[in-house]
Amino acid sequence: MASKQLPSIVKTQNFVAGKWTAKGNGTLTVLHKYTGKPLAELPLATPAQMESAIQAAFAARKAFGAWSAAKRQQHLQRLYDLLKERREAFVDLIVQEAGKPLGYAQNEVERCLITLGTAAAETVRFGGEVVPLDFAAGEGKTAFTKRFPVGVVACITPFNFPLNLVLHKVAPALATGCPILLKPAPQAPLVALAFTALVEEAGYPKGVISTFLCDNAVAETMVRDERVALLSFTGSDKVGWFLKSICGKKKVALELGGNAAVIIDEGSDLALAAKQIAVGAFLYAGQICISTQRIYVVASVFEAFQKLLVKETKALKTGDPAQKDVLVGPIIDAGHLERIAQWVREAKAGGAKVLVGGKILDQAHNLYAPTLMTQVPTDSNVVCAEVFGPVAILEPVDSFQAAIDRTNDSHYGLQAGVYTNNLAHMRLAHNELEVGGVIIGGIPGFRVDSMPYGGVKDSGLGREGLRYAMEDMTEPRLLVY
């Protein structure tokens, strides 16, 4: 299928301190993820432009932080309206630059509208708390807290949700009165720049947002700068923990992905679980931090479940993400395609059995076959690391407790899915699974944008979800009288 023209929302300049600029320190070419053809060429921000962005944000923080809740809500509602008007153009752009299947791109934009709408609603109900002090040394005293914006927020976002993961940082910042420095992923920055144009159109003042591409050295200056009050990063654990180590005294929120597991218990609806898990493992070629990567099945139902899951996996369609029936699109680039292929080859060399897939389908379009393996060595990358590709492992376990133990045998801990009808097992899972969220009767990829979302261990620090991110972006100040 021939690639469509870029939608009119596309911006090919950085937005720095209230101005669009084509000047830069070199350029970056953004590719169409299925055809591999160039979509746009963008400038890389210079150190001087980064300094201008930081200065403008720092200068804007007090006036913007003093906006009333009503004014912040009105502007967020205006952003909602603008995105709703242009949602088809954003869907088109997400398909092209992120390689996201059409239906999933449509779902992302609809979620973005919910994210903005929730942020607008939270703006006028978010506040402090009354603090009980009327006893002991505080007898006769009244106390309460009011929350104040922390100041400038540096946001670094990944390619896989090029709009909604931007909004999970930008929307709570706008809701709390925090200026934003936004560095989107170099693989898919056009959506973030297009949304920044909506922020400008909505009437936010100079300095409230700067969005730019830059090399790592320039980005590090933003992370280290003491005028930045909070770093919010979504991406790899290696990069996230490094940035935390250099960011000084500022607050940090990290969402770092994982190798999510799902448990299938006796008595579960195996057909339903197989259908949902096939989607949860291979949708968007597995390039989701809560994609199902490890599947542990109680031995008594393993054989029956394996047959169902193999059938569901084989039924998935891989190809051009612009086609409505495609669920598995391209890998983001050739380098990641080869890494995934190498990890699968290593697992096979170690004795793993491939049930489905296990090969590159189309090198020119970066397509890898949905791959299901069993008897995989526990020290394989496809078990221990985050594949971020269409690869899952399927293994029998002796008991539900053993499945919990296998799930916890990971340095990640983002979310886990549990298919069980046993109330005692549900409680056990909630009490013992070392993750940020346990999804009963569903895949680990379940997410509603208002819920607290984040992980433990190497999966990160803090929680996203509008109200929870707003708490990170504010500080409580106590008043006692």
Q: Which two tokens stand for residue 136?
A: 């002991």
3-state helix, strand, coil in the chain (%, to 5): 40, 20, 40
Question: Running DSSP on this structure, what letter comes out for residue 264?
Answer: E
Q: What is the mean pLDDT of the chain?
A: 97
The pair of three-digit structure tokens given for residue 49, joined into one six-digit string? 């432009």
Q: Where are the alpha helices (DSSP H) in 138-257?
A: 164-176, 190-201, 216-224, 237-246
Do the beta carbons of residue 49 and residue 159 sit within 8 Å? no
**Distance of alpha carbon 35 from alpha carbon 150, whole angstroms:** 43
pLDDT tens string 307-340: 999 999 999 999 999 999 999 999 999 999 999 9
Q: pLDDT at position 206, please?
A: 97
pLDDT of amino acid 454: 97
Across 262-271, average pLDDT: 98
- How far apart (Å, rounded) are the C-alpha atoms in residues 153 and 15? 16
Active site residues: 255, 289
Local confidence band at 5 (pLDDT 50, 70, 90 cut-offs): confident
Please choose, from the candidates 443, 476, 450, 474, the residue with its C-alpha nearest in 3D space to the C-alpha of residue 464: 450
Residues 6+ apart with CB under 8 A from 202: 75, 78, 79, 82
Q: What is the pLDDT of residues 337-380, one digit of tens each?
A: 999 999 999 999 999 999 999 999 999 999 999 999 999 999 99
Q: Which pLDDT score is estimated for 1?
A: 41
The whole-angstrom separation of Cα 274 and Cα 253 is 34
Q: Taking 60 as the threshold, does the pLDDT of residue 3 lie above it? A: no
Q: State the residue for tokens 């978010």.
A: 126
192-224 confidence digits (pLDDT tens): 999 999 999 999 999 999 999 999 999 999 999
**pLDDT bracket for residue 291 (50, 70, 90):** very high
Both tokens of residue 209? 């947002």
| Region of residue 191 (left: phi > 0; alpha: psi -120 to 50; beta: else) | alpha
DSSP 10-36: ---SEEETTEEE---SSEEEEEPTTT-
Coil, helix or strand at residue 170: helix
DSSP 72-137: HHHHHHHHHHHHHHTHHHHHHHHHHHH---HHHHHHHHHHHHHHHHHHHHHHTT----B----SGG
The total of other beta-carbon atoms located within 10 Å of residue 18's CB is 17
Say yes or no to pLDDT of 4 above 80. no
Question: 30: Cβ–Cβ under 8 A, 6 or more apart, which residues?
Answer: 38, 39, 40, 41, 42, 97, 186, 187, 188, 189, 190
| Per-residue confidence (pLDDT) for residue 404, from 0 to 100 | 98
Q: What integer pLDDT is reported at residue 2 of this predicted model?
A: 42
What's the rounded mean pLDDT across residues 67-85?
A: 98
Q: b/e map of 219-251 (b: 16 or more CB within 10 Å)?
A: bbebbebebbbbbbbbbbbeebbebbeebeebb
Residue with tokens 């008007």: 85
Which domains does the chain possess? 14-257+458-480 (3.40.605.10), 261-444 (3.40.309.10)
Q: How far is CA 86 from the centre of its chain?
A: 22
* Mean pLDDT, range 133-157, rounded to an integer: 97
**Encoded tokens for 227:** 């005028």
Residue 49: phi and psi, rounded to 5, are: -70, -40
pTM above 0.85, yes or no: yes
The tens digit of pLDDT for each residue in 235-264 reads 999 999 999 999 999 999 999 989 999 999
